[in-house]
Homo-oligomer: A and B are copies of this chain.
Amino acid sequence: MRTPLAALFVISALAFLRSSPCASSQAGGAAPLSDRTQACLSCHTIYTQGIVADWEQSRHARSSVRQALSRPEKERRVSVQAPEEAGVAYPDVAVGCAECHLLDPKLHEDTFSHNGYEVHVVVSPPDCAHCHPVEQEQYLAANKMSRAHGNLAANPVYRDLAEAVAGVRRAGNGDLRSSGGREAAPYESCFACHGTRVAVLGTRKIDARTESVEVPDLSGWPNTGAGRVNPDGSLGACSACHPRHCFSMAAAREPRTCARCHEGPDVPAWNVYENSKHGVLSSASREASAMDVVPWKLGRDFRAPTCAVCHASLIVDTEGAVVLKRTHGFGDRLWVRLFGLVYSHPQPLEPDTTRIRNATGQPLPVTLQGEPAAAFLIPPEEQSRRRRSMMTLCEGCHGTQWTTLHFGQFAATLENVDTAVRQGTALMQRAWAEGWAAPESLFDEALERLWTEQWLLCANGIRYTSAMAGAPDHAAFRGGWWGLSGSLVRLREAVEHGRRTAR
């Protein structure tokens, strides 16, 4: 047990390098800090040490854009080609406080004067896009997450659901509406993931440790939701997945990073993954995985896929050939949308889903009878293309037949689940027609809540379990089929006896 202390030091340092989600193993001389960043650090190494320490261990703290571009293209973490043309003003310094928080001050409504600098609080995707333009572009063009705020807030049906969650009408004796204003209830529930609209209300004085500072007064802040509407009008928060202030790729590859939002019972992706074969092997081989390597090598750098492997990362084979290109438009590898509204359906054509109208005029991708709003959804050939790209990845570790039969089972399960949901919906429609519930809001009465839980909670558990060959109990007793079929029994009984409540 006794070992030379020098060795202990070496190991500890190495262990830190290897395992930290921030750690960089990048060789080469560190890039110099800009004067402006040094000015920031002169105070903030005292006042917000944790932020600085986090950043110090980041790649940003050591590498300039120019250095990043000196690597072979496949190994790069920046996508800008010509920094100067793209407006990178300081391509030869490390990426410090100033390089992000002082960018384009006029574009940011939350810019304030601070010790002689025009600083903005909320660093936004356009800021990051100075060096990472392709990522922002893909995110906006092909990732529904970028529109997560508006897709919820500007769709009257979904907004009604959000109201039913956090501020149901006619709930108690009084009218329990969600408190509005800057601290509304959905800010920590729905919009914690969907992203708030961060608005500048004016300025306020806050008592920092040594002085009173006048700063922008923000509503909807703090928030790191993936569809955040920023004070510069942009959409998204890169820090949702690349947490401040190390912004590492390794952190974004951690399944738990996705779990913060993709958690049960409504989106049980994490829960289903956690105890799936993939999840078990991934956590068991955690220490043996190279979470910070680019490109990511199948069968070498990881034993079993994490979320990022299947949905986002650049994956190469053991010879270095590209299996799948990196994408920040996570829809690129998805053909069917599991998250049924109320049925599974082909992925929307565009990330902005507010324009969708189904045949009955509702802003939903499927009618309640099950007819897809095909004009707004990807066509069959695009579905095939995307399914094929996912299967290519599966076939890195599974035989073609295994993969083919798995996806066949998956398609059959979606049909089975949608059939069950259709029965519940038919019962609900009868309840509306016969007056046992009022269709003005679809979510605020007892029967409607029972129906909502069928397609939103139970059905989603089954769908995700099937998609990822996940932990089987999410299809069995943990919600799943047991919950769905039991709920159908109760809903039917209520409707048949003309009751406003299920028992």
Contacts and interface: CB of A to CB of B under 8 A. Distances in A.
Contact of A500 (B165, B218, B300, B493): B493
A423 B501 contact: no
B187 A401 contact: no
Contact of A250 (B183, B251, B284, B486): B284
Contacts of A298: 49-50, 53
Interface in A408-445: 408-409, 411-413, 415-416, 419-420, 422-424, 426-427, 430, 444-445
Interface stretch (A129-137, A143-151, A208-216, A228-236): A208-216
Interface stretch (A76-84, A86-94, A334-342, A464-472): A464-472
Contact of A400 (B20, B208, B413): B208
A1 B18 contact: no
A225 B449 CA distance: 35
Interface stretch (A6-14, A63-71, A346-354, A370-378): A6-14
Contact of A280 (B260, B397, B402): B260
Contact of A477 (B14, B165, B254): B165
A456 to B, nearest CB: 8
Interface in A269-300: 270, 274-277, 279-281, 283-288, 290, 298-300
B401 A121 contact: yes
A224 B472 CA distance: 11
Interface string A11-49: 111111111111101010000000000000000010111
Nearest to A216: B401
A190 to B, nearest CB: 6
Nearest to A55: B299
Interface string A176-211: 101100110101111011000000000000111100
Interface string A233-264: 00000000001000000110010110111011
Contact of A168 (B7, B189, B485): B485
Which of A251, A299, A422 lies at the interface centre, i.e. has the most chain B CB atoms within 10 A of its CB?
A: A299
A107 interface: no
B476 A165 contact: yes
A223 to B, nearest CB: 10
A398 interface: yes
A420 B172 contact: yes
A187 B280 CA distance: 20
A395 interface: yes
A325 interface: no
Given A15-B18, A243-B281, A420-B171, A476 B401 contact: no
Contacts of A213: 400
A405 B54 contact: no
Contacts of A445: 489
A302 to B, nearest CB: 9
Nearest to A485: B168
A221 interface: yes
Contacts of A395: 47-48, 209
Contacts of A54: 299, 303, 397
Contacts of A409: 183, 187-188
- Copies of this polypeptide in the complex: 3
Contacts of A208: 400
A303 B21 contact: yes
A314 interface: no
A331 interface: no
Contact of A488 (B168, B261, B462): B168
A298 B49 CA distance: 7
Contacts of A317: 49
Which of A280, A422, A445 lies at the interface centre, i.e. has the most chain B CB atoms within 10 A of its CB?
A: A280
Nearest to A19: B287
B426 A478 contact: no
A503 B499 contact: yes
A244 to B, nearest CB: 9
A70 to B, nearest CB: 18
A102 interface: no
Interface in A302-350: 303, 317-318
Given A476-B266, A503-B502, A215 B401 contact: yes
A275 B285 contact: no
Nearest to A207: B400
User: 7 closest A-B pairs (Cβ-Cβ)?
Assistant: A172-B423, A50-B397, A53-B299, A183-B412, A19-B287, A501-B503, A168-B485
25 contacts: A8-B14, A15-B18, A20-B287, A22-B285, A45-B318, A50-B398, A54-B299, A168-B489, A172-B423, A172-B426, A173-B430, A178-B416, A179-B415, A179-B416, A193-B472, A256-B275, A256-B280, A256-B284, A259-B471, A260-B277, A263-B471, A265-B477, A270-B275, A501-B502, A501-B503
